[in-house]
A and B are shown apart, each in its own frame.
Chain A
Amino acid sequence: MRNIFAEALYKAATTNPDIFVVVADISPAGSMADFSRQYPDRFINVGVAEQSMIGICAGLALKGCQPFAYTIASFSLYRPFEFVRDDLGYQNLPVTVVGMGAGVIYSTLGGTHHTQEDIAVAGAIPNMQIIAPCDPLEVEEAVKYCAEQKNGPIYLRLGKSGEPELTKQAIEPWQFGRLRYLFRGTDICILSYGVVMKHANEVAKILLKEGKSVSLVSAHTLKPLDRENIENILSNHKKVIVIEEHAPEGGLSSRTKQIAWDIHAGCELHCFTLKDAFIHRYGGHDDLLAAHGISVKDILREIR
């Protein structure tokens, strides 16, 4: 994802001279190197100084620029949280805070590098928009939106590298603020976002093979959440499954449950999230997800 992110941002920056990239000693490789060579004045490395990364982005935006703040998610959002809230949220500035390697992708680096509650944290800030693309193609679309919009700040939640393309055949286009069906069925709907969509996709494919009629939906925009279409999903399917790489509170699961209660939904609702716990486990990304109880096997066992 980060390479596609860099490529898409480089593309946007060649036509939009207001785009700045402000990084905190972490930079996506690939096209970002071209960007920094070609536009050295618009690529700023503040060093390991995340508070000023956000403050400088705010200052740039106050003067009409379109900045992107980039580093690992725990350092772009948690470390300078009050700057994100005051400088970007309170002043409602069009700055994109890129959280790279969100969730538990940094599976060998431990809890200091995990963002299990980032959507809850970012989503609690008024004016904040949240986008979590599920594959490189959605990253491309999301960057296009972030590079042009003037609505306010965005938390762009990214994975890392090697994510498969899952939306090439999607039956609906990417549109900010709108859920999109990747494919559509009538019985079961799987709702997910971000890198863990790979699990959602796998579960869906297995259920399809078993002859079930399955929808797979990307909820790439977490804020504002497409409430209307979540209501439709809850009304039009017998079983709805939410899979997310996020703590139980403040993410898609809790919001979906809330909406289900509000509309007296009659469907079954299963939610799979990270645990509300620091688990002190290592291994690959899938190992961490499994340790949190959201492996494909776990999911299938629970929903059958």
Chain B
Amino acid sequence: MRPLADTYDPKAAALRCLNFRKRILEISQQVGALHIGSAFSCAEIVECIYYGLMRYSGEVNTLVDTFIMSKGHGCMIQYVILEAMGILTKTDMEEYCTPHGRLGCHPDYGNPGIEASTGSLGHGLPMAVGMAIAEKRKKDPGVIYAVLSDGEIQEGSTWEAIMMASSLEINNLVVFIDNNDFQSLGRTSETHPSFYPVDQKLSAFGWETVEMPGHDSLNIYRTIDARSGKKPMAAICKTTKGKGISFMENVPIWHYRSPNTKEYEIALDELRAAHPGVDF
């Protein structure tokens, strides 16, 4: 069992994230049904999970750890990663959200690489806890990685699972909270000021917690890699919704909107400008 590469190279990670964003923009021109802002918000987190943290027993399709996209609407980042790994096919992506395809706006259990159906918020963490319990029976338990949105931890079921994970002394569970501070009706810090500080609430429940920038791949990797492994861990990642494209960043409409042709070209230009010397 080992990660995909011997060392986690931040430059390679940045290049991958660039390509993932570019691919998601491409898909946005096929079909107007995807949550770009939500996918871009957690691109570095999910990339780091797949390419740095999760262990494989052989090649890319032999994962021993488990990933759950609890904020199911952000799954486009997972899809493009699974495509890059050869777990999903190019055809899968071309047929995304079409009558012939098998991939929709939310992850569906049974599709390659998808370990649980999500989309309804507040389901991922209870399922992740159940998986972690099942894994604990093994001699070398798999680690369950889950990405939750900040809006999602307003769900009572999430707090039920937070309470249980620490009560059951689960230590093979790592949760990333994609804290972009946005939900449908506004900034979380403005609509629900009592929501913050999140990390203290989780610490009080007996979790190992950390607050960190959510777009710094190497820091994400190092922080999680250095976890104590004694408790369930939550990383509250400060992120920017729509990260990478100036007119999408922190603009609520990009939660779901797809760019038109002109916006698409501008978006590509911005990515190009931000990565000088990279062949596009």
Contact = CB atoms under 8 A, between A and B. Distances in A.
Given A58-B127, A83-B126, A91-B116, A63 B163 contact: no
Contacts of A165: none
Contacts of A60: 130-131, 133-134
B127 A90 contact: no
A87 B131 CA distance: 13
B168 A44 contact: yes
B117 to A, nearest CB: 5
Interface in B91-121: 109-110, 115-117, 120
Interface in A26-77: 41, 44, 46-47, 49, 51-52, 54-65, 67
Nearest to B130: A59
Interface string A185-207: 00000000000000000000000
A276 interface: no
B115 A62 contact: yes
Interface residues of A, number: 27
Contacts of A56: 126-127, 129-130, 133, 161, 164
Most A-side CB within 10 Å, residue of B123, B126, B133, B157: B126
A59 B136 CA distance: 13
Nearest to B142: A63
A51 B134 contact: no
A268 interface: no
Given A62-B109, A83-B157, A49 B164 contact: yes
Contacts of A86: 117, 120, 123
Contacts of A61: 130
A82 interface: yes
B133 A87 contact: no
Given A62-B109, A62-B131, A51 B116 contact: no
Contact of B116 (A20, A62, A82): A62
A90 B123 CA distance: 13
B132 A49 contact: no
Interface string B26-63: 00000000000000000000000000000000000000
Interface string A209-221: 0000000000000
Interface string A77-93: 00000110011001100
B171 to A, nearest CB: 14
A51 B115 contact: no
B160 interface: yes
Nearest to B129: A56
A51 B132 contact: no
A83 B134 contact: no
Interface of B: 109-110, 115-117, 120, 122-123, 125-137, 156-157, 160-161, 163-164, 168
6 contacts: A44-B168, A52-B157, A55-B126, A56-B164, A62-B134, A83-B123
Given A46-B160, A67-B130, A83-B157, 8 more contacts: A55-B157, A55-B161, A59-B134, A62-B127, A63-B135, A83-B126, A87-B123, A87-B126
